Amino acid sequence: MMSSGYTTLDNQKVSGSVPAASSPDHVELRFPENNLQTFPPSQTQGKITGTFQPPTDADDSFSKPGPGGDQDDNQSSGWQRYFGVAPYQPYFNVDTSDVLERIRDSLLPYKGTFSERTIHNPDLYGPFWICTTLILVAAALGNFVGYIAHKKHHKHWNYDINQVTWSAGLFYGYVSVIPLAVYFVLKYFSVPSGLVNLWCLYGYSLFVFIPASCLSVIPLEIFRWVVVGGAGFMSATFLAINLRSHIKTASERWFLIVSGIFLLQLGLAVILKLYFFTIVLGKD
């Protein structure tokens, strides 16, 4: 009985009436496909000349868009995105070599290459610290010049704290409001422009006033006028030359616009000289 039973099983195995189980060595496991999110490599670098580009202005014909496209717009929409840090972070993505190179270009106004080098990657880091440094230097040295003059004539002297507030209002206001006004003037004359590019250009144009303020400590009135006037002429020329070619190709009234920009910058130099480095001795 036992042998016949085994024979029957063997016959069934041979005849194939009972399906044979697959070998464990050939078991194939199929996992469901995973939809993993692929994160792009970070493009943020230590220099503004890297692959990361700042977001575009409202009018992007003067400042070209970077390779992000509308990626940031998908993350936040409307006016709410302007209250975050991310929209402004690319404009501060510079290092020391970038800022020094742009300062050097501002001291060589006749080259006219500043706008070409910063048209795709303007920064606000350099303009902010240049303006802040100028505020402190002008207020401190203005008080120091007043102190020296009063001591020389044996007059009583008091520190004028108003020079700090007036200096902050003058330079912060100028570098913020004047480029904004120029932006709307250019828009009115159908000249394509970028607001951040103008802020960058005007910010670096103020650097020449820092060494001019330091030299104005020398107690010679004619020398002070020459130094501040020369600094104002260099700064105004820097603005005019870098904007001339851009405005000239888009407006027939380019000369009036450039002349107005030039005269406004000279006016700033005159205000700097008269308010901070013109000594008025007290009655005491």
Reported as a single tens digit per residue, the pLDDT across 191-208 is 888 899 999 999 999 999
Domain contains 57: no
User: Which run of H or of E encompasses 111?
Assistant: none
Q: How confident is the model at residue 11 (pLDDT cuts 50, 70, 90)?
A: very low
Q: Ramachandran region of residue 123, left (φ > 0), alpha (ψ -120 to 50) or beta?
A: beta
Domain contains 65: no
Domain contains 4: no
Q: How confident is the model at residue 81 (pLDDT cuts 50, 70, 90)?
A: low
Structure tokens at 275: 């308010």
Domain contains 12: no
Domain extent at residue 155: 111-276
Which residue is it, tokens 């501002």?
106
pLDDT of residue 236: 96
Domain contains 62: no
Domain contains 22: no
**Does residue 96 register a pLDDT over 60?**
yes
% of the chain residues with pLDDT over 90: 40
| Cα distances (Å, whole numbers) of residue 188 to 119, 201, 242, 254 | 21, 20, 20, 12
**Does residue 89 register a pLDDT over 50?**
yes
Please state, in angstroms and rounded to a whole number, the distance separating the CA atoms of residues 252 and 258.
11
Asked if 136 contacts 170 with a C-beta cutoff of 8 angstroms, the reply is no
pTM of this prediction? 0.70
* Domain count of the fold of the chain: 1
Domain contains 201: yes
Q: How confident is the model at residue 31 (pLDDT cuts 50, 70, 90)?
A: very low
Mean of pLDDT values over 96-115:
90
Domain contains 20: no
**Does residue 105 register a pLDDT over 50?**
yes
Interval 52-62: pLDDT, tens: 444 444 444 45
pLDDT of residue 191: 84
Amino acid at 230: G
Asked if 143 contacts 218 with a C-beta cutoff of 8 angstroms, the reply is no
